[in-house]
Structure 1
Amino acid sequence: MKRDAHIHTPYCPHGTKDSLENYIKKAIKLGFKDITFTEHAPLPTNFEDPTPEKDSGMDPHFIVSYLNELNTLKEQYKDDIHIRIGFEVDYIVGYEVETTSFLNLIGSQIDDAILSVHFLKFNDEYTCIDYSSETFLEFTKKVGSVKSVYDLYYETLKKSILADLGQYKPKRIGHPTLVHKFQLAHGEQIDDDANIKEILQLMADHHYELDVNSAGLAKTDCKEPYPPLRYIKHAKSLNIPLVFGSDAHQVTDLHQYYDKIFPID
């Protein structure tokens, strides 16, 4: 069954205004039977978004509209496609209590969710590591090296897996090699094989699903899925459930590169 479980929406402040219905119609046309809308959850109100536009998460004032619109469409298209309502939730070191509170508030109203790391903490400051190549390269100077940024990213991922975020904690880990997004920009060959395998083993031990995220293939400075294909195969060998996600922020990108990744041999 063709499923895409990482899709953004017009409620994304850094995405497009492509309608939810257009995403749904394209999914049906391409033979997908199961989709999840996973808009970026609102960031904790006491967390300062480090991106220039302050647009990393949904405006909390739109949560009710988001849920209501999707519930209406879910019913309208129930005979054609299974629509799940969800969020992509940020794991931010130091904001576990706030994140748990949000999940407790919203958890019973959604069907699915992803837990992702976009923000890294260093010297009491946060950086969005996937914002731009310039931001990433500047962050490597602060931390000391590209390798140190990679290590910090995987250490934060481990914390996200082990964190107690309550009964509604997402059970799928989002794009677990997002730190590769600018690998062709920094040009260094970083050996993070042990880090990735450690993350996947931890996911297996704690019964997490893997967001097999195709968006990296479309990124100029990445050109590979998150995680790369060899690690998707490794995850499969560990019996980690593989869940495709196009991470589309516009209808054009919906289901991008699905056929390059699935089926996994």
Structure 2
Amino acid sequence: MIKQNLHTHSLYCDGINSLEEMIESAIQKKFTVLGFSSHGYTPSESFGMDENRQNSYCLEVNKLKEKYKDQIDIFLGIEQDELYRINDPSQFDYIIGSKHYVKGEGYEHGIDCSKEVTEQLVSSYFNNDFLSFCQCYFDDLKKMATWDEVDIIGHFDLFMKFNEDESFLSFSNKQYLKMAYETLDCLIQNNKIIEVNTGAIAKGYRTKPYPDFHLLQYINQHNGKILLNSDCHNAKFLDEGYDIAMDLIRRAGFKSMEVLTSKGFETKDIDEFIM
């Protein structure tokens, strides 16, 4: 049976646990696969790794792979932001491509800080038009479809983090769904794996994972590939929301998910995964 998380942060970026503490928690929670994905370099934030820190991170993960090889499969990954593509992807087992910022003339802002910051961002730079904000995000996300090094697309609709009450926009808005579907088409056609991400559940911002259920259904209907990740920053919550996410994944019609192995990503029957 398989239990996997490939979106894991630690003290090397904005997590609160060491790599080894995360591994010990994973073993205790009966994970069979754990991948580390510390944030790559981002000049405007302190949590992204600089070159020296990234080198230390890679060395430690590779040592821990060997130390725990008889108990759990450990993989070395990185979360690469769309604005700051990494220089040497070859050293990593996999790469998560994510978008955390919107950038324009004279500004660069994180999109998942708080509801108030999102309101201010949309007001200041998108003329109070949330759909324009969404389109900007999706236009940038599409760029990663052709980046060969990117295996997984992280938190596909992250900008909806503070919109579970639909106060910004309805999840079923036709214009919104059109741009979301077009982006998913682009990613699926380029064989990107779409992450089902429970990170906002652990932090208390949402009761459901990314992407929204409408989008999960679309991914399944168009033969897209998915995997389940917790985007974990705290070892206590390594599998937080997995039961909720698996219920939605099954309801969306998925019969399989992706798992990372020593031979690369493989498609496995959904009944092989345990929560």
- TM-score tier by shorter-chain length is 0.7 to 0.9
Measure, in 1, the Cα distance between the counterparts of 2:206 and 2:167.
10
Preserved contact between residue 28 and residue 81 of structure 1 (Cα < 8 Å): yes
Measure, in 2, the Cα distance between the counterparts of 1:152 and 1:209.
21
* 2:115 aligned residue (127, 130, 133): 133
Instruction: Report matched runs for 1:197-236 at 5 Å.
Output: 197-236=181-220
* Structure 1 residue 121 displacement after superposition: 1.6
Measure, in 2, the Cα distance between the counterparts of 1:78 and 1:158.
36
Aligned partner of 1:2: which letter? K
Instruction: Report matched runs for 1:174-213 at 5 Å.
Output: 174-184=154-164, 187-190=167-170, 191=173, 192-213=176-197
* 1:244 aligned residue (214, 219, 228): 228
Partner of 2:105: 123
**Secondary structure of 2:56's aligned partner:** helix
* Structure 1 residue 176 displacement after superposition: 0.6
* Structure 1 residue 209 displacement after superposition: 0.4
Partner of 1:65: 56
Aligned partner of 1:42: which letter? Y
Q: Deviations over 1:18-59 (max 9, x none)?
A: 12112112212222111110000112xxxx51xxxx324123
For structure 1, which segment, 172-181 or 143-152, has the greater mean C-alpha deviation from structure 2 after superposition? 143-152
Q: Deviations over 1:92-111 (max 9, x none)?
A: 1xx6xxx2xx34x2x22110
* Structure 1 residue 123 displacement after superposition: 2.8
For structure 1, which segment, 181-190 or 220-229, has the greater mean C-alpha deviation from structure 2 after superposition? 181-190
Partner of 2:136: 152
User: Which runs of 5 or more residues in structure 2 are unaligned?
Assistant: 251-275
Question: Considering only aligned residues, what root-mean-square deviation do their CA atoms show, in Å?
Answer: 2.0
Aligned partner of 1:188: which letter? F
Aligned partner of 1:24: which letter? I
Normalised to the residue count of structure 2, the TM-score between the two structures is 0.81
Q: Deviations over 1:178-219 (max 9, x none)?
A: 010121588233422222222221111111001111113345
Instruction: Report matched runs for 1:7-86 at 5 Å.
Output: 7-12=8-13, 14-16=14-16, 18-43=17-42, 48-49=43-44, 54-86=45-77
**Secondary structure of 1:216's aligned partner:** helix
> Would you identify which runs of 4 or more consecutive aligned residues in structure 1 move more than 3 Å?
218-223
Measure, in 2, the Cα distance between the counterparts of 1:77 and 1:31.
14
Aligned partner of 1:9: which letter? S
Partner of 1:114: 96
Measure, in 2, the Cα distance between the counterparts of 1:205 and 1:62.
35
Normalised to the residue count of structure 1, the TM-score between the two structures is 0.84
Measure, in 1, the Cα distance between the counterparts of 2:211 and 2:226.
11
Preserved contact between residue 144 and residue 150 of structure 2 (Cα < 8 Å): no
Aligned partner of 2:92: which letter? I
Q: Deviations over 1:217-265 (max 9, x none)?
A: 3454443211023422332332222111101111122121112112632
Measure, in 1, the Cα distance between the counterparts of 2:164 and 2:220.
27
Preserved contact between residue 202 and residue 237 of structure 2 (Cα < 8 Å): no
Preserved contact between residue 39 and residue 79 of structure 2 (Cα < 8 Å): yes
Preserved contact between residue 3 and residue 32 of structure 1 (Cα < 8 Å): yes
The sequence identity of aligned pairs, in percent, is: 30
* Structure 1 residue 144 displacement after superposition: 1.0
